[in-house]
A and B are shown apart, each in its own frame.
Chain A
Amino acid sequence: MDPGPQVVTYLFGNESLPITDTLIWAWVVCIVIIIGARLATKDMKIVPAGLQNVAEMTVELIYDQIEAMMPGEGKRMLPFIATIFIFIGLSNLVGFIPGVVNPTADINTTLGLGLVVFLVSHYEGMKKHGVFGYIKGFGEPVIILLPLNVVGELAKPISHSFRLFGNMVGGGIIIMLIYSAAPWVLPVPLHAWFDLFVGAVQALIFGMIAIAYIAVCRD
């Protein structure tokens, strides 16, 4: 009994290139998002209707969140942050369908995203303060604190990604246990709780913390 990602097949038959079910579902989620985006923006009208409304509302909400923490950077950071929000949000919600594995219930997905946020935040910091000026910032307020700051910085992507991973996989394990104990009615409210509510909140948290990390590095 292993609740983790299952290896479905190997790419090119090579043992070192496994393809897991979470990866496949991540691809499915990506394709669904792209199709949805394409449908929403295929023929845009000045008076929005249907999917266009949803797309505009989503983009504006995320834009406002970025502008609140990083004034003036909303337009530039929008693609990165909004993709995190949308991809993680749908990845968390997709587990509501029985038989679908959350792509975020895989440490590879969340740590990958956490590392991307980590790299982007430090790139932004270096862009703002210059490479040397940014590195000097770690030695503040006294130079002795440098290793502590570095460790704290390195802990950020770990806590960032493990929070999402733990939440999703914990919910998945509980639902799996309930499925093996009482497969009839009980899993439904648990699905609603762990996949809809916790999933939505965790996607929001992940995105907000990504914005906060980038904003902190730019300070």
Chain B
Amino acid sequence: MVDLNITMLWEVVNFLVLMYLLKRFLYKPVTEMLDSRRQKIKGDLEQARRQKEEAHRLKEQHQRELNEARQKAQQIIDEAEDRGEERAQEIIAEAQDEAERIKERNLAEIEQARQEAADELRREVASISMMVASKFLREKLDEEEHEELIQQYIEDLESARLGEAK
């Protein structure tokens, strides 16, 4: 039963053929698949790392930009407040000026109107005096009546002058 014969050669040939076929059908595809999977996992990890870095970078950038924007907004608000303050001061000053001017103008107008009224009054008094005088002259009133009339006019005049008096 322990006899060596030609079947040993057959077995060796068998083994070599099996090795060749398995190399073709099993080892090559499997090792290629394992390699490609390794490459894929490596690539995926690399990509994930890169994306993470990118995300980190973007986040920092956004943070920085946000801070800048906040500062800028604060600056703008401050400026606007300053300007508003300034402008308000200006407006108040202008309004005060305007009020002053209006007041002065009104006073001037009042003065002028009073002047005009006084003038008018004076002219009126003069014309009335003239009229009265002419009436006296025309009607030749007696001494008493004359005296009385004059007295009355002077009273009138005095009361008219009262408006002008202080």
Contact = CB atoms under 8 A, between A and B. Distances in A.
A112 B33 contact: no
A109 B31 contact: no
A111 B26 contact: no
B19 A83 contact: yes
Interface stretch (B5-13, B76-84, B115-123, B138-146): B5-13
Contacts of B9: 112
B11 A108 contact: yes
Contact of A41 (B6, B25, B36): B25
B1 A59 contact: no
B58 to A, nearest CB: 30
A34 interface: yes
B133 interface: no
Contacts of A116: 12, 15-16
A59 B31 contact: yes
Please classify the interface of chain A as helix (H, G, I), strand (E, B), loop, or mixed, using the class held by over half of its residues: helix
B91 interface: no
Contact of B6 (A18, A26, A115): A18
Interface in B1-55: 1-12, 14-19, 21-23, 25-27, 29-31, 33-34, 36-37, 40
B10 A23 contact: yes
A41 B14 contact: no
Given A16-B6, A34-B25, A79 B1 contact: no
Interface of A: 2-5, 16-20, 22-23, 26-27, 30, 33-34, 37-38, 40-41, 44, 46, 48, 52, 55-56, 59-60, 63, 75, 78-80, 82-83, 86-87, 103, 106-109, 111-113, 115-116, 169
6 contacts: A4-B3, A41-B29, A55-B26, A78-B31, A83-B22, A112-B15
Interface of B: 1-12, 14-19, 21-23, 25-27, 29-31, 33-34, 36-37, 40
